[in-house]
């Protein structure tokens, strides 16, 4: 590789290595060439420049004053050259630009950790975070307002790809401060039959709303319907006004602590799990890269581990296995595949075996607190 004046990049690399090692043998090992080749490249560079860059004796190697000045000018230029190559390579893969990421509830450290890992790997790609309404978890992705979104599972949308899932969390129930549950350490899931349960309004699909606000307990007791809300804040305000109670995952409860609402753990409820989704017809390199960044990182937040890769998960659980993504939803996949999550039927929201497996929908499977 040469420039317009015939300058060899290899000669520059040789000089840089020699200036750091100050030893022809070590420089040769670093460049995977012979010691005589290092001498040859250095002499060629000195001929191009017209002066001696390195002084070599039987006892030591050192840069000449000209070599010192040349090194000071060369280092930033060489770094800039490599930066340009990396930027061009990233541009060819479509990663530079802007990635719009939707989230439900709040973008807490679990999701921000994934965003930071992505930014470290692809510094030329800006990430914009966009809150999406509780009542329409998939609309922003479908409409193109965001490129991908972190949503609460289950997901059973044929036009969407489900990437990595993570952050399995215990559920709590938000109650007004004077509610009988407010002073309890926990409540049983069957006790929800005694309270109007606030849930998301449409256009969220029925199966998803059923997970957020089930209509039956595991024992078959009907759960009274409370108000339907469009946002998490609207739901918590309805709780504070004593219009009902609302299910939230534990991180959301911690983030949205307020004096007029108490969050009580619920025993017997399926855990909530987050997943990354995007449009099947709009799977950009940026989306795939962010999916990999989420799937490859291991983040432990307050004792909750995010799974690292499908391969490592397969090592722990077997290469092909049914796994419960959220209680009442089952997915099947081979290591490295993405999986579609099929929810239990609306009347069996708490039944862990209610749904059958679904085959892989995504090429890559490798977090906001879910409401």
State the burial class of residue 43 (Cβ atoms within 10 Å of its Cβ: 0-12, 13-18, 19+): middle
Angle, CA 58 vertex, CA 54 and CA 60 arms, to 5°: 50
166 pLDDT above the threshold of 70? yes
Quick one: pLDDT at residue 315? 33
| Strand (E) or helix (H) holding 119 | helix 109-121
Distance CA 120, CA 36 (A): 39
This prediction's pTM: 0.58
Under a CB-based contact definition with an 8 Å cutoff, are residues 189 and 218 in contact?
Answer: yes
Cα separations in angstroms, 274 against 56, 103, 355, 356: 62, 10, 18, 20
Q: What is the pLDDT of residue 57?
A: 86
Closest to 159 in 3D by CA, of 274, 272, 289, 283: 283
Confidence class of residue 230 from pLDDT cuts 50, 70 and 90?
Answer: very high
Higher pLDDT, 352 or 11: 11
pLDDT, mean of residues 254-272: 90
The band of 119, judged by pLDDT with boundaries at 50, 70 and 90, is confident
Q: What are phi and psi of 351, to 5 degrees?
A: -80, 110
Q: How many CB atoms lie within 10 A of CB 342?
A: 19
Alpha-carbon gap, residue 159 to 53, rounded angstroms: 63
Q: Which residue has the tokens 């998939």?
A: 138
pLDDT tens for each residue of 285-329: 889 889 988 887 633 333 333 333 333 333 333 322 232 233 333
Q: How confident is the model at residue 39 (pLDDT cuts 50, 70, 90)?
A: very high
- Give the DSSP letter string of 7-22: -BHHHHHHHHHHHHH-
Residue 348 to residue 329: CA distance in whole angstroms: 10
Residue 333 CA to residue 337 CA, distance in Å, equals 6
d(CA 268, CA 291): 31
Average pLDDT, the chain: 78
DSSP string, 280-327: GGG--HHHHHHHHHHHH---EETTEEPP--HHHHHHHH-SEEEEEEET
Give pLDDT, residue 167: 82
* CA distance linking residue 260 with residue 237, whole number of Å: 9
How confident is the model over 192-215, as a mean pLDDT?
95
Q: Please say whether the beta carbons of 367 and 180 come within 8 A.
A: no
- pLDDT (0 to 100) of residue 94: 53
- Identify any residues that bridge with 199 across adjacent strands, giving them in sequence order: 228
- Residue 332's pLDDT is 31
């Amino acid at each position: 590789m040469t420039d317009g004046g015939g300058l060899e990049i290899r000669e520059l690399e040789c000089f840089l290595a020699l200036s750091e090692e100050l030893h022809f043998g070590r420089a040769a090992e670093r460049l995977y060439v012979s010691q005589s080749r290092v001498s040859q490249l250095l002499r060629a560079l000195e001929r191009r420049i017209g002066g001696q860059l390195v002084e070599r004796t039987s006892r030591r190697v050192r840069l000449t004053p000209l070599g010192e000045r040349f090194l000071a000018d060369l280092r930033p230029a060489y770094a800039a050259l490599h930066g340009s190559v990396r930027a061009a390579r990233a541009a060819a893969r479509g990663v530079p630009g802007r990635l719009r990421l939707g989230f439900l509830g709040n973008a807490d450290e679990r999701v921000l950790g994934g965003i930071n890992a992505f930014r470290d790997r692809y510094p030329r790609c800006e990430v914009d975070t966009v809150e999406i309404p509780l009542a329409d978890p998939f609309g922003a992705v479908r409409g193109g307002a965001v490129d991908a979104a972190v949503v609460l599972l289950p997901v059973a949308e044929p036009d969407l790809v489900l990437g990595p899932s993570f952050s399995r969390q215990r559920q709590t129930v938000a109650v007004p401060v004077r509610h009988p549950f407010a002073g309890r350490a926990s409540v049983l899931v069957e006790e929800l039959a005694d309270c109007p349960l606030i849930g998301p309004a449409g256009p969220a699909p029925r199966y998803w709303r059923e997970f957020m606000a089930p209509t039956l307990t595991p024992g078959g007791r009907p759960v009274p319907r409370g108000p339907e809300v469009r946002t998490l804040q609207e739901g918590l305000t309805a709780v504070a006004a004593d219009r009902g109670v609302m299910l939230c995952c534990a991180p959301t409860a911690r983030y949205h602590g307020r004096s007029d609402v108490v969050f009580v753990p619920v025993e017997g409820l399926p855990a909530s799990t987050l997943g990354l989704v995007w449009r099947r017809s709009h799977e950009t390199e940026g989306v795939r890269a962010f999916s990999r960044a989420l799937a490859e990182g291991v983040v432990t937040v307050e004792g909750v581990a995010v799974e690292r890769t499908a391969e490592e998960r397969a090592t722990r659980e077997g290469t092909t296995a049914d796994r419960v993504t959220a209680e009442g939803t089952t997915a099947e996949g081979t290591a490295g595949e993405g999986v579609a999550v099929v929810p239990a039927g609306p009347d069996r929201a708490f039944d862990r075996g209610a749904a059958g497996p679904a085959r892989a929908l995504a090429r890559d499977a490798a977090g906001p607190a879910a409401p």
